[in-house]
Amino acid sequence: MHSNTWIEMAPGYTYTLVGNLEAESFLAAHFSGRPEIAAAYHSLTNMGSKSDFLRYLLLYIRGGIYSDVDTKPIVRPDAWLPPQRRRDVRLLIAVEHDEPIDGQPEDFVYPVQFCQWTIAAAPHHPVFAKMIDRMLMGLRDVADRDRALRGSNKALTDFDSIFAHGDGAFTDFDVINTTGPVAWTEVVFGHLQGVDGSIKRHQDIWNMHEPAYYGDIAVLPLHGFRAERLDDWGLWRRKYALVRHFFKGSWKTSRA
């Protein structure tokens, strides 16, 4: 959708649009020793969830920049970090939601959530290993719930019953809670707590106006990968706005 812009703004980078065949080859090459990963991936029919799952695997093994096709860079990727930080930062993420209190609008569970439509990382960052385990756990829970709702006593492997009755068995909330931003936020927040003992609640990192650094992780404020949030104020050149997201939401099973 905006591939030409990415290519133009990232000279020297290799731009890859990963399709089904590439995904299958990648899984076989790098995760043959963990068959549960391929089983979980193949169980998914919701394209958003499948895309979520694959991006973490790709970033874990290869590193680089992942960005959804409905995103557009407004700053060259090689300028996303200040020069003095580039040696130390191994994971660059951004906030997608920043509110001080609980009781969130649709799609948001925590006062502060991290987006995963754009992520930059060095290979083998431990956050992705944790996220893979979190996804497998969440998908097993969905499979168990589906079996319980159907009263099934049939012996099935971990992921056999996911989507047994079509996408309706796997809700939009299941997507964000198993592979999407809710699960991602839980993993990242837990990792940040391990790095910085002063972080007790999501509100402890609320109201971020500039990048924050926690160990080898850089966290951008709300407009970092959501430059469209600045439209109302005409602040397109706000210092930390790097990527615009167009929120096509093609993974959703229902529309408002």
Is the confidence at residue 127, as pLDDT, over 70? yes
Q: pLDDT value at position 145? A: 80
pTM over 0.85: yes
Over the chain, what is the mean pLDDT?
86
Percent pLDDT > 70 in the chain is 82
Reported as a pLDDT band with limits 50, 70 and 90, residue 64 is very high
Report in angstroms the alpha-carbon separations of 118 from 27, 67, 73, 223, 243: 21, 4, 10, 12, 8
Q: pLDDT value at position 154? A: 54
Contact 219, 211 (CB under 8 A): yes
Is the confidence at residue 243, as pLDDT, over 50? yes
Q: Tell me: the pLDDT tens digits for 30-51?
A: 999 999 999 999 988 888 999 9
**Beta-carbon-side half-sphere exposure of residue 80 (alpha carbons within 13 Å):** 28
Is the confidence at residue 152, as pLDDT, over 50? yes
Q: pLDDT value at position 78? A: 96
Q: Which residues contact 135 (CB under 8 A, 6 or more apart)?
A: 40, 52, 53, 56, 178, 179, 183
Residue 190 DSSP one-character state = H
Least confident of 29-33, 105-109, 206-210, 235-239: 235-239
What average pLDDT score do residues 123-133 get? 99
The strand pairing partners of 208, in sequence order, are none
Q: pLDDT value at position 68? A: 95
Higher per-residue pLDDT: 59 or 140: 59
Reported as a pLDDT band with limits 50, 70 and 90, residue 252 is low
DSSP string, 31-90: -TT-HHHHHHHHH---HHHHHHHHHHHHHHHH-EEEE-TTEEESS-GGGSS-GGGTTT--
Least confident of 3-12, 161-170, 197-206: 161-170
Q: Tell me: the pLDDT tens digits for 192-217?
A: 999 999 999 998 998 898 999 999 99
Q: pLDDT value at position 87? A: 96
CATH assignment of 3-76+85-245, among 3.10.20, 3.30.70, 3.90.550, 3.40.1350 = 3.90.550
Q: pLDDT value at position 166? A: 46
Residue 229 DSSP one-character state = G
- Alpha carbon 73 to its chain's center: 17
